[in-house]
Amino acid sequence: MFINDYHIHSEFSGDSNQNMRDIFEKAISLGLDEIAITDHLEYDIEGMTEKWILNLDKYTKTVLEYQDEYRGKLDIKLGVEVGVQPHTREYLEEQVKKYPFDFVIASTHAINRCDLAWGELQKTKNKEELQRFYFETVLDNVKKYEQFSVYGHMDFVTRYGGPEYRGMDYHMHKDIIDEILRTLIHKGKGIEINTSGYRYKENRFYPCTDIVKRYFELGGEIITIGSDSHIKEYLTLDFDVAYEFLKSIGVSYICGFDKMKPVFKRIK
């Protein structure tokens, strides 16, 4: 039985139309103890349309109302996925501080205002160059930001650009990835296992197994698992793979969060 799902999008995200109540009912049917709604908070991305502007007041009010309604049936955490860029730190951290978040995912979706999904960056760099550029940006973000809990899908740069950009070799970028991990650990931050890589036909979760192993080897402790679902049917998809992998490397727990503090939960 799975414990929680800590990366879920609803109709408040620019890329989802999923009704929140249906998410909660689905989570209960799956036997989950808790979930975190983590809709997108994006800022200063070239071409970003109005639908991507998260109404934090309405979003927070809605989640908190559902928390009360579902108390005793499902523990609903107020989360958010913040699309971080080095130059947007001040604005985004000010926004995060205004609300009583339980959990914040920091993710690199855009570099220098250019969304990775658009394919423009891929026109200027080959696979290895783009991955290096991406990890350099992640490191810059990790060094600058404080208001987050875990770093999301840390190597998902491979998702975009077609077959020639697929595949992650940790050892090729070991120096900078290890610096990212050491910085996260020093700051008391975690990483997530994001199982959406299987849905995107990469046959893996994000980050790759070598990076997750290395995080624990370096002394990291905080790990969450999220489906990155945008429809309720994706909740907990491929979590069995993530659970079995963690147990195979001697990790017998995952984390939840409450008021930005990690709560360690033994894998069932």
Q: What's the first-to-final CA gap in the chain, in angstroms?
A: 6
CA dihedral 161→166→168→169, nearest 10 degrees, is: -110
Which pTM value belongs to this model? 0.98
Q: Give mean pLDDT, residues 203-218.
A: 98
Amino acid making up residue 188: G
Number of helical H runs and strand E runs in the chain: 8, 11
Which of 133, 258, 33, 27 has the alpha carbon at shortest distance from 124?
A: 133
One DSSP character per residue, 165-219 reads G----GGGGHHHHHHHHHHHHHTT-EEEEETHHHHTTSSS-BS-HHHHHHHHHTT
Q: Which two tokens stand for residue 193?
A: 């296992």
CATH number attached to the domain at 4-266: 3.20.20.140
Taking all residues of the chain, what is their mean pLDDT, rounded to a whole number?
Answer: 97
| Residue 268 pLDDT | 79
pLDDT digits over 22-63, tens only?
A: 999 999 999 999 999 999 999 999 999 999 999 999 999 999
Mean pLDDT, range 84-108, rounded to an integer = 98
